[in-house]
Amino acid sequence: MHQNWLERFPLALFSIGAFSTDTPSGCNVSDSGEAPDIDPVLSSGALKINPKKLEKVPWDHTGDHPGSNVAWAAIKALAALSKSYIFRNNEEERPVNSKGGRVYASMHINGLIDPLCIILSQEKRPITMGRHDLATMPFIGWLTRRMGNQPVIRRAEQASGIVDSEYSKSINHRTLLTMAHCISGGHGAVVMPEGKSHQDSKLHHLRTGAMRFSLNAASIADAKGLPPPTIQPVGLHFRCHHWFRTDVYVEYAEPLEIPVIEDPTHAANLIDGIWSEPPEEKVLQLRDELYGRLSPITPDAPDWETYRAWHLLGHLRSKSRGVSLTKYSEEVKASREVRDSLKANENTEILDNSRQASTILHSKQLDARAISDDFTINKKVEYSRGIIGIIFMMIAAPLSIPSTGIQALLGRYLGDNSDEGIDARTTHHMFAAFFSPITIWPLFGISISYHALHDSAHGAELLAAMAIFVFLISIMFHISNLIMLSGYDLWTDFRMSLRRRGLAHSEEGETLNNLITSILPQLVALK
């Protein structure tokens, strides 16, 4: 689904790192159940190996983090600011604190936004790994190398013939060993164990890389007498992941304990800087356990139409009980209850009707929130929100557009024309918010302050005054962006109310009302 140009206006954000975990070497095995095992379609960037830059990636096999502390502090601050721009409503659970390292693993449907949401919702400094070109490309590569991000040459790249197996093995083993040591030292790790970003509503086959370095991290920690690391399944939920100003909910499930390999020689080799493969049976056992823990906190639907139907049923069931779902996290949990109930009852009629109803809503860029408490389409038009929204955007425009608009337009263009797929759209949009504070904002501040002060101040005095002015104008730009976003949200609400009214007075709206009427008596079957 596409929004119009205004609804997609990307005052978006840039994420930090490269975070997929394909199996770099060793065993390649089938996953639990019927999970799809689909290799990624290789982009132009993935097909370009840069050995010179790959050799420059910082790594460490002592347990220390290989990234720059100063760079990480700056990147995290910019990422947090950016996240506040791209999401309208942000709900985050917090994982239980632990002294040991923690490997955060989630489903991967939203490009670099996925790891960003995890990183900013927990306290441990993460070590990350991902596709090789994210460590070598301009701008992003410079940032990820200072973050300590570790490159992986995936199975798909190796199969393409762009690099030989020995070189791939040397890079991947260095990466895995760095990950293991860093985690054993108490740091976090963010991984996407499916090995690629995709658009399916069901968890894919899990690659074994994350399990392999997690097992080795546990062995290193045990040998050194350090707190044991754990694997933390994470549920990432987006209302519509490729839309600007969507809602996000970050969910943390019960962590997995990582078994220790009872072989002192194995741990000794790892401590000496020699990568050793953990036993295959332990790798597969841990992979299957992670799949079992992770799958329930994903959509876990046969398709997105079914998933949207579950959300609709969750809303309708709650309304029938006199309760409205006001938070996105409530919607997610309500749809999960519906999912589990339908799997037990196998009620195909209510699901078929709900799929039809939710498809009508989705075709109008609406969802179950368009249904009022009397189970009809909400016809109220939010004129006041539209007017106030326009006023807010007009007030903010003189500062917001020149300070962030160039990057926003560039991000939109790159996102709409990327060969990475729809899951990368928001990643490209993120450039606007991330780079504005370190490029456009300072340039404006320096230019304006110099012309205003160069006749009255000189030397160190002028530089100090310019620095203060850059800081103040940056605050002004940020405030103007927040006002612009508030106005945009109000305008979006107004536009949504127009679509609701239009649907209510259409033949499709009548069909929708009839479908909902047929669904209501069947809700009692949902336990």
Averaged pLDDT score across all residues of the chain: 85
Model pLDDT, residue 161: 62
Model pLDDT, residue 170: 85
Identify the band that residue 207 occupies on the pLDDT scale cut at 50, 70 and 90.
very high
pLDDT digits (tens, 9 = 90+) for 99-122: 999 999 999 998 888 989 999 999
Tell me: pLDDT of 45 over 60.
no
Residues across the chain: 527
Q: How far apart are CA 287 and CA 26, in angstroms?
A: 14
Q: How far apart are CA 345 and CA 349, in angstroms?
A: 11
pLDDT above 90 covers a percentage of the chain that reads 57
pTM for the full predicted model? 0.85
Model pLDDT, residue 466: 84
pLDDT digits (tens, 9 = 90+) for 505-524: 999 999 999 999 999 999 88
For residues 182-186, average pLDDT: 96
Phi-psi bin for 249: left (phi > 0), alpha (psi -120 to 50), beta? Answer: beta
Model pLDDT, residue 418: 67
Model pLDDT, residue 502: 97
Which of 40-44, 155-159, 194-198, 326-330 is most confident?
326-330
Identify the band that residue 17 occupies on the pLDDT scale cut at 50, 70 and 90.
very low
Which of 168-177, 226-235, 427-436, 445-454 is most confident?
226-235
Tell me: pLDDT of 343 over 90.
no
Looking at per-residue pLDDT, the higher value among 76 and 162 belongs to 76
Q: How far apart are CA 374 and CA 516, in angstroms?
A: 11
Phi-psi bin for 221: left (phi > 0), alpha (psi -120 to 50), beta? Answer: alpha
In one-letter notation, the amino acid at residue 54 is: L
Q: Which are the contacts of 303, defined by CB distance < 8 A and separation ≥ 6?
A: 201
pLDDT digits (tens, 9 = 90+) for 417-428: 766 667 667 777
Pairing status of strand 188-191 against strand 256-257: unpaired
Q: Enumerate domains of the chain plus CATH numbers.
A: 60-297 (3.40.1130), 304-379+505-525 (no CATH), 383-503 (no CATH)
Model pLDDT, residue 179: 93
